[in-house]
Amino acid sequence: MNLSNLTEEKLKSKIKDLYFEDFNYFGDKIDFTITQNLGILGEINLLWAEAKNGKDSCIYKSFIQLILTIGKYRYNTQQTPKFLGAFDAEKFAFLPFSCIQEVFYQNDINWSITPSNHKTEQFQTLLESLKLTLKNEIILFSYENQSKELINFITQNLTTDEINKYEIDKNNFVSVYFKWVEVVKNSISIDWERAKQVGILDADFYLADLLSLDNSTITDKLYTILRGSYYEFNKKLTFLGTQTNEIANFKDSQKAHQKFWSVYKRPPREEFWEYIIERRDLLVAQDVRERKGAFFTPSIWVQKSQEYLAKALGEDWQEEYYIWDCAGGTGNLLSGLSNPRNIFCSTLDKPDVDVIKERIKNGANLFENHIFQFDFLNDEFFDKVDEKGNVLTESKVPKKLQEILKDEKKRQKLVIYINPPYAEATTASQVTRTGKNKDLVARGNKICQRYKEILGKANNELFAQFFIRIYTEISGCILGCFSTLKYLNSQNFIKFRETFKAHFLEGFIVPADTFDNVRGQFPIGFLIWDTKQKETIKNVRLDIFDKNGRFLGQKGFCGERVKSINQWIKRYDDKKAKEVLGYMENPTPDFQNTKFLCIINKIGTRHNNYYALSKTSLIFGGIYFTIRQAIPATWLNDRDQFYAPNSLWEEDKEFQSDCLAFALFHGQNRITSTNGINHFIPFTESEVGAKSAFESNFMTEFINGKIKLDDINSLFTESKMSEKLEFSPEAKVVFEAGREVYAYYHAQDFRAKPYNVNASLYDIKEFFQGRNAKGVMNPPSKAEDPHYKSLIATLTESINTLAKKLEPKIYEYGFLRE
């Protein structure tokens, strides 16, 4: 079995097919993750591995790179796998995670370094310190001689048994309960509706499970007890005076129960037992759950946000802090909180106030007098009084909360805990607490007018208006808020950030479309700020969770005032060039707008800059184009900004050349010979079998250093810019894949369709793929020629491989910042 010629991506796919076909696989920051799906519990990690193509990789170094990756993105803080792995085209090695687990608790390791840079002092130090452990604990298999043994090892050891389990404490036992309800409850042989009528609640069964050791409840303070394979409850005296217990068995031989508790560690630490038992009321389901549009914050993120508040403020934060949800809707953000004396909730609409008060009658853990109707963007906090102290106009804010707002020390113990609306004044669809569109949704209120100078362009955003009033008028409080991430790095929030200075405590981000009535692929974050500490927002790192609540690592957001990539590229724009090869449309510098970035023959009509591509600006244009296209837009990076780089890229000639290669063959290069001379053919006539001479051989001459550059940008000398370009092996593969596409076109029989000797790659795609009735080019899958589909697929794969190679340098050179 020869795997040595495979790219890393193909090698990972092949190894998965050969040895891990019964498992789930995905790759991201960690190259090779093997998981098992446990239903509602999501994907459970079994193996994290580092992959290297070829046969000459050092297994020890691969493990060190993997460990540094885990530490850098804090994967170790979540459910960790049974094994780590490292493999290449020749061998696969396993290492029990427990052997290196203590590494992540060491204080002298710099986890911020680039894991793939094996030359750093930190990498070498960690390698030296773990060398003996790696030597003694690694289990190594050769594909050629030990393939069967490798399969047997995986079958026998890669299971969910003995995986590292989630710990349960006083702050997350409620969220675990909700998952228990989904997974375990219906496997218990009870008619829950009838049971509820006589006071038998699922919460008691959950507590019996939670406070158990070896599947037996370890406390006598519970109404229901787990006895191995059944529950015992509802003690009664018989007519003889003896005691009898009713029991409930499992419908499924306890399978769902065992699966659930294979993930969570029980019992919790003993110091939490009394609190959990006393707060059983937090597990009692509400009779009034919701009305249409009531719950805008999914319960999974409500629970997660409260875990993070506990992490930031301490386990006893609910006893020590006051809480005000000033955009409360029907109050679901407050579900699971335990101290009603300290909780206040206000909402814009009277019907929402009525819903919350109805919930209180049915068991919601809130005080009725702490719930009030209040327009946060218009109403005043305090009573209006005359000189003698007589109240002229009463505020809607309860007197106790007014006292807290007036007292500087008490304000420092106030948590403003909100999920404000994300509507913009200029959007067609407005996301509001009622789920309805509202005219002038971000305009026409007092806060909009009061802080328009401070907010600038951010005044279009409702959540920004909430934030600025909280920051300025409730100074010193803790702000725990859901919102988009625009205020961290968007150009429109520069003025906002000049005023909003606070200390970041904790936070996480999740996909926006997990929220009711929110559409689009972008992140929504929950961030906790201490507004007492005045700090400029610079770099914020947030934990990442997918839609199922699975931890994916960390992501950084840069709030520093740094020049954008659009400001940087303007210095190289060559609109006065004697000969313009084409234009590059440069949209606003974020992933959200990258879809508009393209290379075209002539200036377009959109309100974007059109960068002139000439012989002196081509390299810079190729870099800009590649930086913005190499990394696909996802929900996670949608709001990321592209920045002006540091100077390191200037000496990396291979990087510059590879960027040009990427730009020449990418699908957004829409140069067409039908709109002018095509200067973008990167091959000679003989290389592709052209039937006559090209109108322009500019690109091949440029690549080979034969173009005289007479208007040299001051950054480079003529010798550096006019010599032959050197490409990486990955870029050379792109050129060869592209050449085969060009050659196949020129080899066609053109009796049915006209021959275009100057055809660009875009023209060739149109030739084979055609257009639909609306004039849009069909995707490659619509092409009728199977060989062309194979060639274009190979070209696409090679471009993606080149992009992966360039991605670390995009961050290293500062075009993107983590």
Summarize pLDDT for 340-360 with one digit per residue, the tens: 999 999 988 776 787 788 778
Lowest mean pLDDT among 254-258, 327-331, 365-369, 690-694: 327-331
Specify the DSSP element, H or E, that contains 141.
strand 139-142
Task: Establish how many alpha carbons lie within 13 A of residue 107's alpha carbon, considering only the half-sphere containing its beta carbon.
Answer: 0
Closest CA to 299 of 348, 335, 265: 335
Rounded Cα distance, 96 and 150, in Å = 15
**Predicted pLDDT of residue 238:** 47
Average pLDDT over residues 521-548: 93
**Cβ distance 307 to 315 under 8 Å?**
no
Q: Is the pLDDT at 237 greater than 60, yes or no?
A: no
Q: Express each pLDDT in 420-442 by its tens digit.
A: 887 654 443 333 333 333 334 45
Q: 372-411: per-residue pLDDT in tens?
A: 999 999 999 999 988 888 888 999 999 999 999 999 999 9
* Surface-to-core class of residue 683, CB atoms within 10 Å of its CB (0-12 exposed, 13-18 middle, 19+ buried): buried
582-586: strand order across its sheet: 598-600, 582-586, 609-613
User: Each residue of 286-321: pLDDT tens digit?
Assistant: 332 323 223 468 888 998 999 999 999 998 999 999
Tokens describing residue 721:
């810019």
Strand ranges for 155-223 from DSSP E: 212-213, 216-217
- pLDDT reading at 282 higher than 70: no
Beta pairing partners, 231: 226, 248
CATH 3.40.50.150-classified regions of the chain: 299-558
Residue 576, pLDDT score: 84
Question: What's the count of helices (H) and strands (E) in the chain, helices before strands?
Answer: 28, 25
Report the alpha-carbon distance of residue 693 to residue 696 in Å, rounded: 8
Contact 346, 326 (CB under 8 A): yes
What are 509's strand-pairing partners?
Answer: 525, 544
Name the β-bridge partners of 93: 86, 140
- Helical H segments across 22-58, by residue range: none
Backbone phi, psi, residue 34, to 5°: -105, 130
Q: What is the pTM of this model?
A: 0.68
Q: Is 105 helix (H, G, I), strand (E, B) or coil?
A: helix
Q: Please report the sign of the dihedral spanned by the C-alpha atoms of residue 755, residue 759, residue 761, residue 767.
A: negative
437-491 pLDDT, tens digit each: 333 445 578 998 999 888 988 888 889 999 999 999 999 999 999 999 989 988 8
Distance CA 634, CA 511 (A): 10
Q: Residue 210 — very low, low, confident or very high, per pLDDT cuts 50/70/90?
A: very high
Residue 697 buriedness (CB in 10 A; 0-12 / 13-18 / 19+): middle
Asked if 273 and 219 count as a contact pair (C-beta separation under 8 A), the reply is yes
Expressed in angstroms, the distance from the first to the final Cα of the chain is 40
Residue 667: which residues within 8 A CB-CB, separation 6 or more? 765
Among 77-91, 427-441, 572-586, the least confident range: 427-441
pLDDT above 80 (res 818):
no
User: Considering Cα of 686, then 688, then 691, then 697, what sign does the dihedral take?
Assistant: negative
The answer to whether the beta carbons of residues 739 and 733 sit under 8 Å apart is: no
Using alpha carbons only, give the angle 432, 435, 439 rounded to the nearest 5 degrees. 60
Q: Could you identify the residue written with the tokens 């859901």?
A: 482
Domain at 299-558, CATH from 3.40.50.1820, 3.40.50.150, 3.40.605.10, 3.30.70.100? 3.40.50.150
Alpha carbon distance 457, 443 (integer Å): 12
- Mean pLDDT score across all residues of the chain: 87
Alpha-carbon distance 764 to 745, whole Å?
Answer: 7
Per-residue DSSP letter, 85: E
